[in-house]
């Protein structure tokens, strides 16, 4: 059954200045970074011209995520559909980055938790990934493997039902 309190999202009516039928109020001051791909090779993608003569700067999504994790001092909160502890964020060894940048995601998060950064993961629980069935699940989200990987660590990993 649908909760009637949230069936229409937040706000509504002619006086509402936010985005209708959404669950979070409109806020100012946020920013977004657009990516062509998760990782790129220098000068491999075409130049994209933007308004006012600007040129789109291609960035490395995984590397930016890695650097944000490395730069965290208090808390890291990751929520996602498929969070895989063995994902390599930085895949090119020629990058001039500190050594932890070359860890996989699980190692990197454990490293930060040992620095007393609070690390919280909210992972989608694929109901088909149970030992009784096959443990891999229909969607291949690695949810059970990731949960087990962090089980006896200070990283808090919670599987959330859809």
Tens-place pLDDT, residues 115-127: 999 999 998 887 7
What's the mean per-residue pLDDT of the chain? 81
CA 129 to mean position of chain CA atoms? 21
d(CA 147, CA 157): 6
Burial class (CB in 10 A: 0-12, 13-18, 19+), 157: buried
The segment with the largest mean pLDDT, out of 24-28, 38-42, 120-124, is: 120-124
Quote the CA–CA distance of 88 and 38 in Å, as a whole number.
11
pTM, 2 dp: 0.72
Q: Which of 31-45, 58-72, 115-129, 131-145 has the lowest mean pLDDT?
A: 131-145
- Specify the length of the chain in residues: 162
Return the pLDDT at 138: 61
Integer angstrom CA distances of residue 137 from 76, 100, 109, 151: 27, 31, 24, 19
Q: What is the mean pLDDT of residues 70-96?
A: 88
Q: Which of 22, 18, 150 is nearest to 86 (CA)?
A: 150
């Amino acid at each position: 059954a649908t909760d009637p309190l949230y069936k229409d999202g937040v706000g509504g009516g002619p006086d509402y200045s936010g985005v209708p039928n959404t669950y979070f109020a409109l806020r100012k001051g946020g920013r977004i970074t657009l990516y062509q791909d998760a990782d790129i090779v220098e000068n491999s993608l075409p130049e994209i011209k933007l308004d006012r003569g600007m040129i789109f700067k291609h960035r490395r999504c995984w590397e930016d995520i890695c650097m944000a994790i490395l730069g965290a001092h208090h808390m890291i909160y990751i929520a996602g559909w498929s969070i895989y502890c063995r994902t390599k964020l930085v895949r090119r060894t020629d990058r001039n980055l500190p050594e932890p940048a070359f860890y996989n995601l699980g190692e990197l998060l454990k490293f930060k938790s040992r620095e007393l950064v609070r690390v919280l993961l909210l992972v989608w629980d694929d109901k088909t990934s149970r030992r009784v069935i096959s443990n891999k699940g229909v969607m291949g989200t690695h949810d059970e493997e990731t949960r087990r990987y962090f089980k006896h660590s200070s990283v808090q990993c919670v599987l959330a039902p859809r």
